[in-house]
A = this chain, B = another copy of it.
Amino acid sequence: MISEQEGNGSPLLSDKIRLALADEITSGALVPGTQLDEQQLGARFGASRTPVREALRQLAASGLVEMRPRRGAVVAEITVARVFEMFELTAEIEALCVRLAAWRMTPQERSTLRQLHEQSRRAVEESDIDEYDRLNWLFHDAIYEGTHNAFIVEQAKALRERMAAFRRAQLREATRPAHSRHEHGEIVEAVLRGDGEEAAKLMRAHMFHAASAFDRSTCVLENDHN
């Protein structure tokens, strides 16, 4: 949604600031509720208030900060309850995608999906978490694309992007990648059979397990603010 610049070489200050702030917020360096003072941020980034303002507006659109007119911006309060609500929608969207994909994917797309799944075997065996993470994203991407609906693809990716911060820790659990891959395997089978409803059900379960892993993992959000 937010103009994720392709590799074009225009180093817009507002973009740099936006990315830096987004990183600090999602990594937890900036705790929820923190007041984001424009000129203070401008000083930190060696810029004037103008690009800072642009950055804050865009972050507000993506939900990372909250803006109250004439009262400035604060890092959005994200409670554990809210993260689970976000997880629920993510799971449902993923389920919806795989249901459509199971019905609509071309033979070639199905083949690609299976290949992606095969490739992940090595990453699991070698406990290469980063590689598994990469393949995991590609796997879900392939399913999004399988819907043959560009708008759904966009929205799904935007939602996943927004969730990225909270899913980071989730694969650190030693046994999670193996479980995850097993679940992927069942999903692939359902997709190859063209059984959309079953694939959706499996995907929902898959996402639920991922959320549980998140729940058990060290959690950035230790207390409810609301």
Task: Name A's B-contacting residues (CB within 8 A).
Answer: 1-3, 5, 8, 10, 12, 53-54, 57-58, 60-63, 67, 69-70, 82, 85-86, 88-89, 92, 96, 149-152, 155
Contacts and interface: CB of A to CB of B under 8 A. Distances in A.
A85 B151 contact: yes
A155 B89 contact: yes
A60 B12 CA distance: 16
A61 B149 contact: no
| Residue from A70, A149, A150 having most chain B Cβ neighbours under 10 A | A149
Please tell me how many copies of the chain the complex holds: 2
13 contacts: A1-B61, A1-B63, A3-B69, A8-B69, A10-B69, A57-B61, A61-B61, A82-B150, A82-B151, A86-B151, A88-B149, A89-B151, A96-B96
A96 B92 contact: yes
Nearest to A54: B57
Contacts of A89: 149, 151-152, 155
Contacts of A67: 3
4 cross-chain pairs, A with B, having the tightest CB-CB distances, nearest first? A61-B61, A85-B151, A85-B149, A10-B69
Nearest to A14: B57
Given A3-B60, A54-B57, A63-B1, A70 B10 contact: yes
A85 B97 CA distance: 13
Contacts of A60: 3
Contacts of A151: 82, 85-86, 88-89
A104 to B, nearest CB: 11
Contact of A57 (B5, B58, B69, B88): B58
Given A12-B69, A85-B149, 16 more contacts: A8-B69, A10-B69, A53-B54, A54-B57, A57-B57, A58-B61, A61-B62, A82-B151, A85-B151, A85-B152, A88-B151, A88-B152, A89-B149, A89-B152, A89-B155, A96-B96
